[in-house]
Amino acid sequence: MAEFSIDQSFLERLERLTLHWQKSFPGLVGGHNASRYSGAGQEFLDHRQFHQGDDLRAVNWRVYMRLERLILKLFQVEPRVPVRILIDASESMTTGEPNKFDYARRLAGALTYVGLVRLESVLLQPFSDHLHDPLQCGGGRHRFRPTVTFLESLKASGKTDFMGSVKRFIAEYPQRGLVIVISDFLDDQGCEKPLQYLADFGHEVFLIHLWSDEDRVPPFKGEIEIEDAETGEVQKLNFDEEAQAEYTANFDAYARGVREVALRKGGKYAGVVTSTPVEQAIFGPLLGGGR
C-alpha cells in the first residue's frame, strides 16, 4: 500500500480551496456562496412592493421621495450552509490495493480541512448499515485535531445499507445543504434510489466514487473462489480474459448509473481510483467540480 503523506505546501494549497455548491439554500448570513434567496446581504438583488408587516428599514426612501410609493430594496443573502460528508464504513471498503477505506478517510480529512479553513460547519457522518456516531466540527483550522482523532478511530465493518442510512440521515438532519458521499457505492439492494431520495429532499449531492484498480479490472485468472467481503457469500468460477472484460464493462455501467443519479438533480460526481494520490485526486477530478 502506498503511504500517504502531506507536506506544508499541500496544506497551503488546500487552504486556497473552497467548498462550492450550486444550489441556493436558505439560511442565516455568514456563508460564502451566494443564494437566490433575499435577506441580509450586501449584494443588491431586486425591488418589490411594500406589504404590511415588512421591515421599514428595508424601504428605499429615495424612491419613495421621488415616486411616493413604498418600494422595498432586496439583497442577496450568503447563507451559512451545512456541509455533510458521508463516509462509507462498510466492510467492502477494506478491499483493494490501496485500501479504499483509508483512502476515504484521507479524502474526508482533506475536505474537512478545506471546509474548516473557510469557517464552514462540517459534519463527518460514517455509515454502513446504520449511521455511526458523527463528528460536528467547525471554527477554523485550529479545530482540525478532533477531526483527525475521529477519523483515526473509525473502523470499517458491516454491510452497506444506503436506503436505511439515507432515511435516517434525512430524519436526523432536516436542514438542506451540501452532502458529500465518499463510497464505493456497492450495495446489494442498489444505491440509485436512496441517492435520488437524498437529492429530491433538497440536498446538493456530491458523489465521490472510490474504487481500486482490481475492483475495476480484477488481475486474477483461472479457477478462483471469490468471497463477498460483506456477506461472506462464496462463489466459485472460472475467470478468463473474456470474463474479465465483461466484468469491467459491468463495473463501468454501474459507475455510469451512479453518475447519472448525481447529475440528474444538479449534483456532482467524481470517480477516483485509489492508486491516484490523494493530493492529485483533490486537485484533479474533485477540483474540476465533478462531471
Partner 1 sequence: MFFLNLSLGEFLAVWGLVSGGVFALYLLDRSRRKIRVATLRFWTPSDKPPEAKHRKRIQQPWSMLLQLIAIGLLLAALAQLRLGSPDRMSRDHVLVLDSSAWMAARTGPLSLLDQAKRESILWLRSLPSGDRVMLVRADALPTPATVFATNRPATEQAILETRPGASAMNLKATLDFARQMQRQHGSGLGEIILAGSFRSHANDLPSEAELPANVRLLPVKSDLRNVGIRKVTLRRSPADAQLWEVFVAVKNYSRQVENAPLAITFGSAPVGSARMTLQPGAEESARIEFRTKAAGYLEARLVLRDAIAEDNAATLELPEQKLVRVMVYTREPALLRPLLNANRWLTATYAPPEEYKADADAEIIVLDRFAPPVKPARKALWIEPPAKGAPIAMLSPARGVKLTGWRNEHPMAAGLRSLDLRLDETSVFAPSANVTVIAQSEVGAVAVASKDAAYLGFHPGRGALRFELTAPLLMANTLEWLAPEVMRRREVTGESVGNIQIPLEAGVEASSVQVLGGNDIAVPFSIVDGNLQFYSGERGMVRVRTGSKEQVYSLSLPDIAESTWEAPAKVRRGIPRGVTDSIASRDIWQWLAIAGGLLLLIEWLWFGRTRLPAVQQQALPGTEIFRRFTAPFRKAS
* Total residues at interface with partner 1 (CB under 8 A): 59
Of 139, 99, 54, 95, give the one whose Cα is nearest residue 230: 95
Please state whether 290 falls in left (phi above 0), alpha (psi between -120 and 50) or beta.
left
Nearer to partner 1, 175 or 280 (CB): 280
Q: Smallest gap, in angstroms, from Cβ of residue 17 to partner 1?
A: 15
Q: Based on the shown chain and the rule CB under 8 A, indicate whether residue 233 belongs to the binding site for partner 1.
A: yes
Which of 228, 265, 275, 277 binds partner 1 (CB under 8 A)? It is 228
Residue 176 · residue 25 · CB < 8 Å: yes
What is the grid cell recorded at 232?
461472506
Task: Enumerate residues 84-103 that contact partner 1 by CB under 8 A.
Answer: 92-100, 102
Task: Enumerate residues 96-155 that contact partner 1 by CB under 8 A.
Answer: 96-100, 102, 105-106, 109, 113, 141-142, 144-145, 148, 151-152, 154
Cα–Cα distance, 80 to 172 (Å, whole number): 19
Give the binding range for partner 1 (CB under 8 A) out of 24-32, 58-66, 184-192, 200-208.
184-192
Alpha helices in 79-174, H assignment, sequence order: 100-117, 144-153, 162-172
Of 93, 251, 85, 86, give the one whose Cα is nearest residue 159: 93
* Nearest 10 degrees: Cα torsion 24, 29, 31, 33: 30
User: Which residues contact partner 1 by CB under 8 A?
Assistant: 1, 3-8, 11, 92-100, 102, 105-106, 109, 113, 141-142, 144-145, 148, 151-152, 154, 184, 186, 188, 215, 218, 220, 222-230, 233, 235-240, 242-243, 246-247, 250-251, 254
